[in-house]
Each structure stands twice: as C-alpha cells, then as structure tokens.
Amino acid sequence: MTMRDVARLAGVSSAAVSRYLNGGYISKEKAERVRAAIEETGYTPSSQARALRTGSNRLIGVIVPKINSESVSRITAGIGQVLRERGYQMLLANTENHAERELTYLDLFQSYPVDGIILVATVLTDAHREALSQVRVPAVLLGQDLPGVSCVYYDDFDAARDLARAVAASHAGEIAYIGVFRDDAAAGAAREDGFAAGLADAGRDLPADLRREGTFTVDSGHACARDLLAAHPDLSFIACATDTMAAGALRALAEARPGIEAARHVSGFGDNELLRAITGGIATVHFSYLTSGIEATAMLLDTIETGRGEERHLQLGYELMGPIAPGDLR
C-alpha cells in the first residue's frame, strides 16, 4: 500500500495526502476523506519516507559488550527510559566483548542511518580513536573517558583505591587480585592500578605472583582463584575486577577451604543483585549504571536536538558496599 493508493481511494492528489501526513494545510472535507482512506487501507508511512521529510529516523544505535551482563542491563534500562520519554527507539548491537565488532557496528549504524550512537566501550584501540574522531553522527562514549568525544564514565581508580584501603585495614595476610586485560582502561588498568595504590597507602604491596588475569566470566574467576589458593596457602583475601569473577572466586574458596565464610574474603565491582541475594553481600563497588545510561542518552539527544556539538565529559561517583572481615583463609 502506497501514498498514491491512499490518494486514489480518497479522491485527492498525492500531494494532499503528503500535506495531511505532515501537518500542512488541507481542507476539512479532504482531510476527512484522507483519514478514512488511511484507516481503511491501514497505510503507514515508511521510516525512510519519514526520514526524508524530517531529516531524522528517531533511532539511536547502542553498542554493548555483553548483553547478559547485569551492569549492561542496567545501563540499557536507563538508555531505554530516556529514549521512550523523548520519542526515540533503540537499535541494540551486542559485540560479545570483540573490539573489532564495535568498529563494525559503528560503521553499520552510520550507514543505516541512525540519529546518534552510544558506545558502551571496553577496549579503546587506535582504530577506535580514529573511528570516533570521524563519526558522522553525534556519539557518546559510556564507561571510558576519551578526549575528542563526549563521555560518561566512572571513577574506577579511586573506587578501587578506597576498596583496597578498607581491605588492608581488615586483613593482615596476603591479598591477591584477579583483574582483566589492561587494554580495558577502566575495568582493567584503572581498577588494578587503583587497588595497588590503595594497598601502597597502607604500606602493603601487590606483587606479580599475587595477580592473575581473568576474562570477565565466572569460570575465569574460579580458575584464577584456584591457582592463587594452591600457590599461596596463607592467602587472606581475593579482590576481583568484577562481581562476576568474584562469584567464581567464591566457589573456589568454598571448595578449597570448607567452613570458611567465603563471602567475607572476596571483593568485586558492580554490586550484582543476584550475588548479593545469594551470599548476603560481598565487599563491592556500586556504580550508578542506570544513571549512566540516563545521563549518556540525555547528553546525546540534547546534542541531536539542539545541533550544538560541544564536547562534554561526566564522571559519576561510587559507593563501597558489603562486609570486609579480618582473618585469613586457613
């Protein structure tokens, strides 16, 4: 069904139908005939035609690293909330933590086209920096801070530093750390460096043999924790870069040290609701993921709707959550 079919049924010109659809002048008598013809035929203007008329598809491309992550689900909930309120729709792309797919979707969304892009980023390679510097639609980077593009991000370094200080004050024994690849400037480098800095503030260190690198998964947290416990029988505490890996570390502790209240000897980042419900809460860092989605989307839509391209950077705060008990794991 086309506009021409509606015009033929209503006995008017296609131009009259177009004026009706776009709020232009048309006589009441003709408007009623067009309305009746649209109702009878079920005609809906195509998104492509609407875009040609308005210069906007009212679509936002959202690129996320992992669709089944609780933090990502909170972020996308915040994004969706603002988009619904302001009459936009979301096109969601899941990269499964493959950095090259982020570049593919950045290019794809611009060709679609969308009105703007939110990239929930992990790794920022030189190729990412180049792509973001040349992006043809407004874009906001969420979770990382990068000059040249508007960003909403978290204070990973200071959060990790405060967490390490609290752990060091409660645990006199060895403290280990399970991180993620340092090419992830936020969850990888900033959290690990912040945790090491917090231990240093307390006169402690984090040597290489007490560090392991996981891959954001429960299984990697479990494997790394098992390795640490086998190599360091006097281990007092295992800090993890994410709550997901902390869940694996908890399982490894329960297997290796029966009777230990494992939840008091592990920390993470993310304040995972399911982990909190099961364990009663571990020491963790709460970031306002929902708020970050809301703020990033409002920032992007304001740029789209005002046409002002000024670069903005917004760092959100954090809160330490859960218990940290003294003692070792023997």
pLDDT attached to residue 21: 72
pLDDT tens for residues 190-233? Answer: 999 999 999 999 999 999 999 999 999 999 999 999 999 999 98
Range of the domain at 219: 156-287
pLDDT tens for residues 139-155? Answer: 999 999 999 999 999 99
* 283 and 293 both lie in a single domain: no
d(CA 161, CA 325): 18
- Asked if residue 101 belongs to a domain, the reply is yes
* 18 and 114 both lie in a single domain: no
pLDDT tens for residues 247-257? Answer: 999 999 999 98
What is the CATH classification number for the domain harbouring 227?
3.40.50.2300
pLDDT tens for residues 275-326? Answer: 999 898 999 999 999 999 999 999 999 999 988 878 999 999 999 998 865 5
- Total number of domains in the chain: 3
pLDDT tens for residues 16-58? Answer: 887 777 656 788 898 899 889 888 887 776 544 554 444 567 8
- Asked if residue 322 belongs to a domain, the reply is no
SS (H, E, C) the chain: CCHHHHHHHHCCCHHHHHHHHCCCCCCHHHHHHHHHHHHHHCCCCCHHHHHHHHCCCCEEEEEECCCCCHHHHHHHHHHHHHHHHCCCEEEEEECCCCHHHHHHHHHHHHHCCCCEEEEECCECCHHHHHHHHCCCCCEEEECCCCCCCEEEEECHHHHHHHHHHHHHHHCCCEEEEEECCCCEHHHHHHHHHHHHHHHHHCCCCCCHHHEEECCCCHHHHHHHHHHHHHHCCCEEEEEECCHHHHHHHHHHHHHHCCCCCHHHHEECCCCCHHHHHHHCCCEEEEECHHHHHHHHHHHHHHHHHHCCCCCCEEEECEEEECCCCCCCCC
pLDDT attached to residue 69: 86
- Asked if residue 100 belongs to a domain, the reply is yes
- Asked if residue 327 belongs to a domain, the reply is no
178 touches 224 (CB < 8 A): yes
* 307 and 264 both lie in a single domain: no
- Asked if residue 309 belongs to a domain, the reply is yes
* 217 and 160 both lie in a single domain: yes
* 162 and 264 both lie in a single domain: yes
User: Model pTM?
Assistant: 0.79
- Asked if residue 219 belongs to a domain, the reply is yes
* 148 and 71 both lie in a single domain: yes
pLDDT attached to residue 43: 78
* 185 and 250 both lie in a single domain: yes
- Asked if residue 70 belongs to a domain, the reply is yes
* 262 and 188 both lie in a single domain: yes
- Asked if residue 8 belongs to a domain, the reply is yes
* 147 and 86 both lie in a single domain: yes
pLDDT attached to residue 295: 97
What tokens were used for 59?
């679509």
* 278 and 247 both lie in a single domain: yes
pLDDT attached to residue 1: 65
* 131 and 115 both lie in a single domain: yes
* 266 and 122 both lie in a single domain: no
